Amino acid sequence: MPTEEPSDPPAWTIAATGPSAFARGVLAAALSAAGWILAATGIGFGALAHDLGFTLGHVLFISATLFALPAQVLVIDEIARGAGVAGAALAVGLTAVRLLPMTVSIMPLIRDARRPRWLHLYAVHFLAITAWLEGYRLLPGLPARVRLPFFAGQGTGFLALLALGGSSGYLLATALPPVLTAALLLMTPIYFTCSLLTAARAATDYAAILIGGLLAPVAYMLVPGFDLMIAGFGGGTLAWAIGRASRGRR
């Protein structure tokens, strides 16, 4: 991923300060389709939390502290099944392993020695699928000095939309049929898959998506918690190996 300065940055970045870049990030999240898809999935989460006996306060707290939706669903499911807090925390920790490669890959774009360490920690809290995809899409077109506050603002905007969706789903839980609740929870992975297909350029890109999709259900049955990491790493590695072997034969 390129980290050099863009040749034609947006006009607003010319005189942008840290706070104004943060505000622009919040606005970008609020105006993005990805943000409202995230809000829609939050509706499903809020309705599920209501059905499992959690309070609206629980929904807001979990949305703020466990930004990734799979972790949010997992923690309320584990607790509802009678698991202790430690067991639920361990399960959530295993699901969070998949976020490490996202964090490592995007850090070169947002690292800024001029900004405080706490801002870096705040920004990477929002590294889940939605923020990672949108960060990769928007950050390379921004000057390096505004990327970190912009990304932090974008994450804050996504969190606000997720909390809005969760609250709405909780309050509307009695009016939402279970099938719709489940369908809303699936919107984020559907968006993620469509984004991958849109960004794919070479045959190996499509091969990685296909192989990863085939590996995912098998990995889930064998090692739940590591399934997405195995599917992503395995699919990408196998696609790369196939592509290299094909080039070698040619």
CA–CA separation, 118 and 123 (whole Å)? 9
CA–CA separation, 48 and 166 (whole Å)? 9
Average pLDDT, the chain: 84
User: Residue 39: what are its φ and ψ, rounded to 5°?
Assistant: -60, -40
Cβ 242 vs Cβ 204: under 8 Å: yes
Q: What pLDDT band is residue 48 in, cutting at 50, 70 and 90?
A: confident
The confidence score (pLDDT) of residue 193 equals 73
pLDDT at 1 over 50: no
The confidence score (pLDDT) of residue 2 equals 47
249 vs 32, which has greater pLDDT?
32
CA–CA separation, 127 and 152 (whole Å)? 10
Q: Among candidates 150, 169, 147, 170, which has minimal Cα distance to 158?
A: 150
The pLDDT tens digits for 95-138 are 777 788 888 889 999 999 889 999 999 999 988 888 888 888 89
Q: What pLDDT band is residue 3 in, cutting at 50, 70 and 90?
A: low
The pLDDT tens digits for 162-190 are 999 999 989 888 777 877 777 776 766 67
CA distances, 183 to each of 187, 216, 228 (Å)? 7, 19, 20
Q: What pLDDT band is residue 225 in, cutting at 50, 70 and 90?
A: low
Give me 94's structure tokens. 């295993």
Give me 245's structure tokens. 């072997």
The confidence score (pLDDT) of residue 192 equals 65
The one-letter amino acid code at 22 reads F
Provide the whole-model pTM.
Answer: 0.75
Give me 4's structure tokens. 């050099």
91 vs 234, which has greater pLDDT?
234
The one-letter amino acid code at 81 reads R
| DSSP H or E run through 154 | helix 144-171
pLDDT at 39 over 70: yes
